[in-house]
Amino acid sequence: MAGLTRRVLFLAATLALCAAPAAARVRPVAPILTTPDAVDVRSYAEPRRARVTHVDLDLAVDFASRTLRGTAALDVLAQRGVDEVVLDALGLQIEKVTTPAGRPLAWRLGARDGDKGAPLTVQLGGAKRIVVTYAAAPEASALQWLPPELTAGKAKPFLYSQGQPTLNRSWFPTQDSPGVRQTWTARLVVPEDLVAVMSGERLTPKGEPAGPGRRAYRFRMEHPVPTYLVALAVGDLALRELGARTGVYTEPAMLDRAAHELADTEKMVEAAEALYGPYRWGRYDVLVLPPAFPYGGMENTTLTFLTPTFITGDRANVGLVAHELAHSWSGNLVTNATWPDVWLNEGFTSYVENRIMEAIYGRERAVIEADLTWDGLQADIAELGGPADPRTRLYGEPGGQIDYFKGETFLRTLETLVGRARWDAYLRGYFDRHAFQPQTTAGFLADLRKHLVKGDAALEAKLQLDAWAYGSGLPDNAVHLRSPALAEVDRSVKAFADGAPAASLPAKGWTTQEWQRFLNNLPRKLSATQLADLDGAFGLSASTNGYVRSAWLELAIANRYEPALPSLRGFLGGVGRGLFVNPLYSGLMKQGDWGQALARQYFAETKATYHPSLAARIARTVAGQPER
C-alpha cells in the first residue's frame, strides 16, 4: 500500500469495516490503488464506492446454440452509504438479479459503447451478495467456438476464452478492470465426452455427473486476481505430466509433440523461483490450443494458454513458455493497475523471460534473444514515425510492441547500470512487497527511488527513470546486447544482398532466431530471381516453422512475389496467431490494388477461422481503417 494518501487509507479502512458477508471477510481482498493515474477509463466500474471481491460462476456450455448460460454470484464490498454497484457487461443477456435468497433487486443496463460494452447497475437494497442470471451471446467477443474441422483431432468441437484486456465482460458480469482483483470459483457443465479446464485449481479433474449426457467440472482461485485472467477451455483434452507440479493439456493428437517441446517446463519454474522468489499459484500447467488461438500465449493463472505454432520439434521457441511463466510474477502477482500501465506487465515479463532463458540455456542464447528485442524495438520506433512519436512512450498507449521491447530494454539498462546482484535483490523484493496488488507506473518509480536509488542523486541522474517511463524514443543510456552469432548472420545478409547464391550461405543449423535475423534484415526490395533462389535453396514457402514462414512471406509480399501466394493463402487459412497474420494483411494492404484485392479475398476465405478479436482487427485493416 506504499504511496497511498491518508484519505485513501481512511477509505480503505471504511470499506473494510463495512458489513460484508462472512464468506467475503475470510477471503483476501486486494487494495484498489487510487492515485490519479489509476482511473480505468475502459471500465464502467466505480470500485472506490462499491467493488466486487469474489465471483462464483455456475454455467452450462451449449455448443449447439454457442452460449454460456447460468449465474454469476458476486460478493460486493460497498462504502458506507452506497447502495448500488456498477458492473461491466458486453452483450450479456440479463434475465434477473436477486439476492441469494431470491429477493429481486432492481437493475438497469445502460447504452452500449462499442467494445466497452454497457454499465450494469444493480441496486443493492442492503445486500452484500448478488446473483445475476444471464446468458453470454453466441457472438461473445472473448469466446471462440470451433467446429471439429478446426481442431487437431477433427472429431469434436472446442471452446476457449481469451479475456485480455477487456473481453471477459462478454461472458460474465463483473468489474472488468485490472485494478480490481477478485477471487473466484466456477462450475462448468459440459457434454460428457468433453473435458473442461480453467485457470484455477481443478477441484474435480475427472468431472462429476450432471444429468444425461453431461458432466460438471469445478474450479477455485483463492488468490485475488484481475478479471482478465479468468479463462476456460472445453474440448477433447488429455493431460501429460511434465514434472511434480507441471503438465500439458492438449488434444490427444498433439500430446506427444507438445510434451516433447515442453520437457524443460519444470526446470523453468525452478529457475524463475531461484531468481524472484516462490511460485505462489500451486500448479503450473500449459494448454496447447488449436491454431485459431490469436496470441502466442496467454498467462492465465495456473494454466498458460499457448499457440501450437511454437512447436517446431527443436525447442527453439520455448522462450514463449518462459514468457508466460514469467507472468506468474510480473502481471499476475503484480498487475498493471490500468491499461496505460501495461508495460509493467509485458516489459517486466519480457525481461524476466530472458533471465529464465539464460538460466536454462546459457548466456549466448539469452544475448541472441536480447539482440532481437533491440531489432524489434528499432523497427517499431521507425514504423511509428520516429523517436519523437508519443506512441514510443512506455506509459500511455504504446504502439507496436513498445511495451514489450522498450520495457525489457529499460530493465536491462537498470540491471547493467546498478549491477546484476543489486538489481536482482531489488526486483525480488519488489515482487514480495507488491504481491497480489495492482501497480502504477508512478508507484513503480516511487518504489525504485525508495528501495534502489535511496536518495543517491548521482545514481538518479544516471538511471534517467522519468525519461524512460514517460519520454518518447530511447534515452541515451539504453543498453544494447550484441550477439556474435547474429553478427555472423548479418554477414550472410550482406553477402546475399551483394549477389552471393543462397546455397553458398552457412545456413545449415541456423536456429529460428538466426533465420528471423536473416529474413528480417534482408533488403525489402529483391528481384524475383533472388527470391526464387532463396525459396529453392531453403524451402521457405513450405516451412512448418511459423516464425520463419511468416518472415519469408512478409518479404515475398513486399516484392509482389506471386510464386509464394499459394503458401501465403494456406498459411493465413491455417494459423490464427496475430503476431504472424497481422503483418501479412498489413503488408498486402500497402501493395496497392494488387495486394488489397488479395487481402480482401484471403480474409473472406479465412475470417471464420479467426478469434473474434483478431477478425475484428483484420477487418479494420482490410477496410483501410487506422489501428486503435
- Angle formed by the axes of helices 363-383 and 402-418, to 10°? 130
Q: b or e along 173-189 (b: 16 or more beta carbons within 10 Å of the residue's beta carbon)?
A: bbbbbbbbbbbbbbbbb
* Distance, CA of 19 to CA of 251 (rounded, Å): 47
* Distance, CA of 588 to CA of 572 (rounded, Å): 12
Other C-beta atoms within 10 Å of 605: how many?
12
Other C-beta atoms within 10 Å of 157: how many?
20
Strand, coil or helix: 470: helix
Range list of β-strands (E), 110-151: 118-123, 129-136, 143-146
- Which of 324, 346, 408, 415 is catalytic? The answer is 324
- Which of 276, 284, 404, 602 is catalytic? The answer is 404
With CA atoms as reference, report the closest residue to 191 among 238, 234, 140, 233.
Answer: 234
Q: Which residues pair with 88 in a beta bridge?
A: 119, 174
Bin 509: left if φ > 0, else alpha if -120 < ψ < 50, else beta. Answer: left
Strand, coil or helix: 70: strand
What size, in residues, is the chain?
A: 628
- Output the CA angle 414-419-425, nearest 5 degrees: 85
Cell numbers describing residue 129: 451478495
Could you tell me the CA-to-CA distances from 540 to 62, 354, 518, 564 in Å, in that order?
42, 28, 12, 9
With CA atoms as reference, report the closest residue to 162 among 575, 582, 593, 611.
Answer: 611
Q: Which residues pair with 160 in a beta bridge?
A: 144, 233
Cell numbers describing residue 360: 536454462
Could you tell me the CA-to-CA distances from 71 to 75, 146, 446, 455 in Å, in that order?
13, 24, 42, 53
353 an active-site residue? no
Sign of CA dihedral 395, 398, 403, 407: negative
404 an active-site residue? yes
Residue 106 phi, psi (nearest 5): -70, 140
The answer to whether residues 269 and 286 touch, using CB atoms and an 8 Å cutoff, is no
Strand, coil or helix: 296: coil
* Distance, CA of 24 to CA of 580 (rounded, Å): 44
Could you tell me the CA-to-CA distances from 506 to 363, 483, 489, 511, 548 in Å, in that order?
23, 17, 9, 12, 16
Q: What amino acid positions are annotated as catalytic residues?
A: 324, 404
